[in-house]
Amino acid sequence: MDLSALRNVSEERVCAALGVPAAVVGFGTGLEPTKVGAMMRELVGLAWSACLVPTQRIIAGQVAHALLPEFEGNPERYAVDFDRSRVSALREDEDLRAARWNSEVQAGYVMVSEARRAFGLPVEKEHEVFLRPLNVVENGRRPAIAKTAPTLAVVKPAARRAWRHRG
């Protein structure tokens, strides 16, 4: 007689009521289909966004409504919220972020300077350019390309028709 399914029912109900994936809590129910690594990171992020953040908003609202007037004369000038800036599950993975910015620069729809600013790198005047693949031609015109041309052309935002090749 297999009674393991009976134990899982209560675990599933508790997690469903809270909005937390069972694997995050460590219940056996959630660990069966879950693999360690990326799937677990996704489940922890889901627990934060589906359960913890909404619960924190409710608590912050109650504190702002009930307690803040007790301590402040003008409670409407203040807001109560939780500091989630150091919660790694809510932050974008740095590798994914770098890959996203790199693809946006390579595609040519953000400037190199914008990507550098996003990562806190110093920005110089020469970074205020778009990178465009050489096979993309503006207004149907094709620039003169040497036999040893690079794969990317630099297009200045002010004078987009002037092509400068890096070599």
Mean pLDDT of 94-122: 89
Alpha helices in 48-93 (DSSP H): 53-62, 68-71
- Computed over every residue of the chain, the mean pLDDT equals 76
Q: What is the pLDDT of residue 123?
A: 93
pTM attached to this predicted model: 0.52
- For the chain, give every domain's residue range: 4-90, 94-165
Per-residue pLDDT reduced to its tens digit, 132-167: 777 766 665 555 554 454 556 565 665 444 444 444
**How does pLDDT run across 36-69, given as a tens digit for each residue?**
566 778 888 888 888 889 999 999 999 999 998 9
DSSP 8-class letter at 69: H
